[in-house]
């Protein structure tokens, strides 16, 4: 067989293999890899604000793992608002609040909107959740985009891994991937390889960003000191679980960074006269007993210290069964539809009974920061 014929045979074989891979890979994974990869690549864009690092791409829409994502012109997940509501609630958070893996109507900010005011004319909820964000980034986003909505209340959807850097990995790799030819990124087979490379480098980069030396160097000016006489806090930090992410709550630098973020949020609340509610979302891992109780207590301690109210969802979700609330069997962070429904129901009941109660006087029940008058009737 001549050399040219051999080359043609090899190329033909590769073409057939590529064609078969393009047909079979989406069926094997249950979603279109190219479509998902393209959306993942363009859903966020580098931010001019160094504290944000990246943000959602305004006016972008796409499908990822079979779920539709639409970003408004304001850079928020949700529909465009032609007329602003008379009262607004801003919800900060990470991929849980953003609603990764779920349609818009099934996530807790949307369900909370339906519970409080389905019309959206009197109460408008703005979802500022962004995948991978921590509390410092969320406060920075509040300054940049949230305050323009003149919120009466800011809700912080706090996941326990927010104390570390959970979304930094993979950002550099995304920039490199975006330079590949457009036609190549429209095929499933290259994305099969890209996903595996990304998974490896994302973990490696996150580990680098979370290393004590790099963490201290990066956030040195955004770590609030812990006082030596805070014996209650020190005792809690000394007894946290060694499981991730609770193990991070024993580190003064991590807790100090959370303290700095909460203090920043408290100052913004005072300056702009809104209330803050920190909603603590548990890790969806139960086993024989829930191992992260002490971490919940530390978050609540720091929230109260900064003058913020908190709502711990642990008991409500534990009663339902944490394992039953997982979006995926291997995912201990993201709740499924039942989890979001339970979060919204608990949160709505808390707000209805406390925030909008006709018997509420002064700053109660959200301490220190007054909630502007919301003179309307909530939906039952």
Which has more confidence, 134 or 206? 134
pLDDT digits 0-9 by tens, 105-140: 999 999 999 998 888 788 889 999 999 999 999 999
CA distance 344 to 112: 5
* Among 49, 247, 244, 204, residue whose Cα is nearest residue 138: 49
pLDDT at 377 over 90: no
pLDDT digits 0-9 by tens, 56-69: 999 999 999 989 99
Eight-state DSSP code of residue 71: B
CA distance 171 to 71: 19
Helix (H, G, I), strand (E, B) or coil at 6: helix
Mean pLDDT of the chain: 84
Rounded CA Rg of the chain: 23
Which has more confidence, 5 or 240? 240
pLDDT at 165 over 90: no
Please measure the distance between the N-terminal and C-terminal CA atoms of the chain and give it in whole angstroms: 80
- pLDDT band of residue 354 (cuts 50, 70, 90) is low
CA distance 204 to 170: 9
pLDDT at 235 over 60: yes
- pLDDT band of residue 306 (cuts 50, 70, 90) is very high
Give the mean pLDDT of 300-320: 94
* Among 158, 165, 167, 166, residue whose Cα is nearest residue 296: 158
Query: Which residues are bridge partners to 155 per DSSP?
Result: 91, 277
Give the mean pLDDT of 193-216: 84
Q: Where do we find the tokens 């109460």?
A: 123
What local confidence, expressed as pLDDT, does residue 94 receive?
96
Question: CA-based angle 333:338:341, to the nearest 5?
Answer: 100
- pLDDT band of residue 16 (cuts 50, 70, 90) is low
* Among 223, 281, 291, 279, residue whose Cα is nearest residue 252: 223
What local confidence, expressed as pLDDT, does residue 337 receive?
97
pLDDT at 251 over 60: yes
Most confident of 195-204, 239-248, 281-290: 239-248
What local confidence, expressed as pLDDT, does residue 284 receive?
95
- Return the percentage of the chain with pLDDT > 70, whole number: 83
pLDDT at 359 over 60: no
Token couple for 151:
């919120």
């Amino acid at each position: 067989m001549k050399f040219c014929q051999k080359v043609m045979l090899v190329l033909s074989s590769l073409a057939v293999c590529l064609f078969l891979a393009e047909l079979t890979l989406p069926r094997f994974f249950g979603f279109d890899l190219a479509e998902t990869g393209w959306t993942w690549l363009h859903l966020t864009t580098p931010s001019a604000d160094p504290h944000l690092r990246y943000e959602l791409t305004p006016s972008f829409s796409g499908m990822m793992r079979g779920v539709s994502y639409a970003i408004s012109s304001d850079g928020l997940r949700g529909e465009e608002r032609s007329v602003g509501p008379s009262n607004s609630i801003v919800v900060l958070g990470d991929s849980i609040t953003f609603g990764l893996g779920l349609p818009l109507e099934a996530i807790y900010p949307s369900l909370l909107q339906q519970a409080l005011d389905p019309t959206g004319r009197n109460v408008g909820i703005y979802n500022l959740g962004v995948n991978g964000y921590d509390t410092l980034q969320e406060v920075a986003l509040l300054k940049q985009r949230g305050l323009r909505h003149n919120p009466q209340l800011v809700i912080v959807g706090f996941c326990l891994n927010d104390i570390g850097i959970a979304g930094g990995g993979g950002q550099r790799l995304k920039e490199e991937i975006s330079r590949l030819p457009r036609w190549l990124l429209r095929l499933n087979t290259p994305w099969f390889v890209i996903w595996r490379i990304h998974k490896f480098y994302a973990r490696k980069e996150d580990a680098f960003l979370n290393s004590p030396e790099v963490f201290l160097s990066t956030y040195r000016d955004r770590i609030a000191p812990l006082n030596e006489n805070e014996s209650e806090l020190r005792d809690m930090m000394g007894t946290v679980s060694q499981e991730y992410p609770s193990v991070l709550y024993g580190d003064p630098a991590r807790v100090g960074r959370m303290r700095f973020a909460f203090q920043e949020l408290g100052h913004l609340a005072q300056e702009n006269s809104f209330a803050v509610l920190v909603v603590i979302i548990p890790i969806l891992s139960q086993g024989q007993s829930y191992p992260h109780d002490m971490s919940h207590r530390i978050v609540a301690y720091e929230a109260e210290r900064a003058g913020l109210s908190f709502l711990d969802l642990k008991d409500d979700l534990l009663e339902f069964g944490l394992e039953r609330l997982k979006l995926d069997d291997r995912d201990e962070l993201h709740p499924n539809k039942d989890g979001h429904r339970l979060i919204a129901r608990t949160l709505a009941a808390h707000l209805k009974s406390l925030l909008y109660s006709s018997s509420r006087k002064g700053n109660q029940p959200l301490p220190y920061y007054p909630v502007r008058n919301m003179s309307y009737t909530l939906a039952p």
